[in-house]
């Protein structure tokens, strides 16, 4: 029976690692409540002059993923891209509703305010 409890404790510790319990605080969690789309939006809302490389490093995804996400946000009417010299500057339309029916009553600005701690 001792062998079984060891296997169970190993399985539990593996599940704990996946859930982020007891893991290294410097490493990213296995999952988050907000999507990469939200993370990209928040990074560029905070600093619209960031490069795609800087955004990718902050979010922890590839530059190509940031490009795809920005393209989707732009196609959805959530962001506009302005060319300033050799760089892009991003502006978000904070009055546009979120996409999913569960949160469609909220606007992008509400999400940004919630995460940034405004409106408390």
Nearest to 38 by CA among 75, 77, 66: 66
Q: Residue 37 domain-assigned?
A: yes
How many domains are there within the chain? 1
CB 54 within 8 A of CB 60: no
CATH code of the domain in which 59 resides: 1.10.10.10
Q: Is pLDDT above 60 for 14? A: no
Helix, strand, coil: what percent of the chain each, to 5?
50, 10, 40
Q: Residue 55 domain-assigned?
A: yes
Q: Residue 14 domain-assigned?
A: no
Q: Residue 95 domain-assigned?
A: yes
Q: What is the pLDDT of residues 55-93, one digit of tens each?
A: 999 999 999 999 999 999 999 999 999 999 989 999 999
**What value does the mean pLDDT take over residues 84-105?**
93
Q: Quick one: pLDDT band at residue 28, thresholds 50, 70, 90?
A: low
Proportion of the chain above pLDDT 70, given as a percent: 75
Tell me 59's DSSP state: H
Q: Residue 42 domain-assigned?
A: yes
Range of the domain at 39: 33-116
| Whole-number average pLDDT of the chain | 82
Q: Quote the CA–CA distance of 52 and 16 in Å, as a whole number.
A: 33
Q: Residue 99 domain-assigned?
A: yes
Q: Model pTM? A: 0.72
CB 43 within 8 A of CB 58: yes
Nearest to 69 by CA among 46, 49, 90: 90
Q: Quick one: pLDDT band at residue 25, thresholds 50, 70, 90?
A: low
70: Cβ contacts below 8 Å, ≥ 6 apart? 40, 44, 52, 79, 81, 90
Q: Residue 24 domain-assigned?
A: no
Q: Residue 18 domain-assigned?
A: no
């Amino acid at each position: 029976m001792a062998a079984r409890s060891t296997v169970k404790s190993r399985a539990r510790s593996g599940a704990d690692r996946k859930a982020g319990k007891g893991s290294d605080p410097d490493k990213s969690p296995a999952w988050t409540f907000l999507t990469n789309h939200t993370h990209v939006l928040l990074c560029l809302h905070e600093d619209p002059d960031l490069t795609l490389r800087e955004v990718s490093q902050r979010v922890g995804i590839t530059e190509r993923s940031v490009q795809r996400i920005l393209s989707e946000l732009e196609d959805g009417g959530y962001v506009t891209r302005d060319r300033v010299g050799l760089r892009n500057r991003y502006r978000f339309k904070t009055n546009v509703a979120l996409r999913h029916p569960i949160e469609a009553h909220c606007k992008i600005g509400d999400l940004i305010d919630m995460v940034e701690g405004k409106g408390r």
